Amino acid sequence: MDRQAKNIQTYNNSARALAEYFKGIGPRISDIELGLSLAGKNDESRVVEIGCGDGRDAVEIVKRSSWYEGFDPSKELLGIAQSHLPETSFVIADALTYNYPQNVDVIFAFASLLHVDKTDMPKVFDKVNQSLKTGGIFYISLKERNKYAEEVKNDEYGARMFYYYNADLIKELASDLFATAHESHQKIGNTDWFTIVLKKN
């Protein structure tokens, strides 16, 4: 079984437990509002969410946008998302296989591209670039290391492969397709995270 399939299996097997864990953390309301404001949009925005999982952020994004679609490779997590938002469009796909729509204002990738390796990341940027309007926003949060690293993590949810990035590497991989609109760094528990918001040139 390849790394991606192993990750999906872990998320499917642990979907209920992870949804309970995410419920304790709550949605990323301030991030959602920042992304929409940087795009210069009100409630008329078109939004895609990469790796929407159980829909905890979708609940808040849908309230603030005119069109939303979320996708995730985990069928079980998407089932939970659909149960909370039965009228919302959710698609089983990953960042490379999803059929990105045109004229999107904001694409959110909250802690989802950490399952995409450095070789595939430029392909994601190309797809996102083609999907976004000029001036559109690509809002990314990732686990941070000084140097790019790959690591299998085993915890109570199972085994998952993570890829660690830093802001400079993301800017390099995004090339001249995007300009940086916002950057911040956080420590959550024992893990360093960073947020980078890119605006389509």
Q: Which tens digit of pLDDT belongs to each residue from 48-100? A: 999 999 999 999 999 999 999 999 999 999 999 999 999 999 999 999 999 99
Element (H, E) at 153: strand 149-155
pTM for the structure as a whole: 0.95
Q: What does the pLDDT look like over 177-193, one tens digit per residue? A: 999 999 999 998 889 99
Which residue in 150, 139, 146, 148 sits closest to 195, CA to CA? 139
Helix (H) or strand (E) holding 113: none
pLDDT band with cut points at 50, 70 and 90 for residue 35: very high
CB atoms within 10 A of CB 122: 14
Q: Which of 16-25, 74-83, 152-161, 190-199 has the lowest mean pLDDT?
A: 16-25
| Length of the chain in terms of residues written | 201
Reading the block at residue 53, the tokens are: 């999982």
Kindly compute the dihedral angle of the four CA atoms of residues 189, 186, 16, 23, in this order, to the nearest 10 degrees.
100
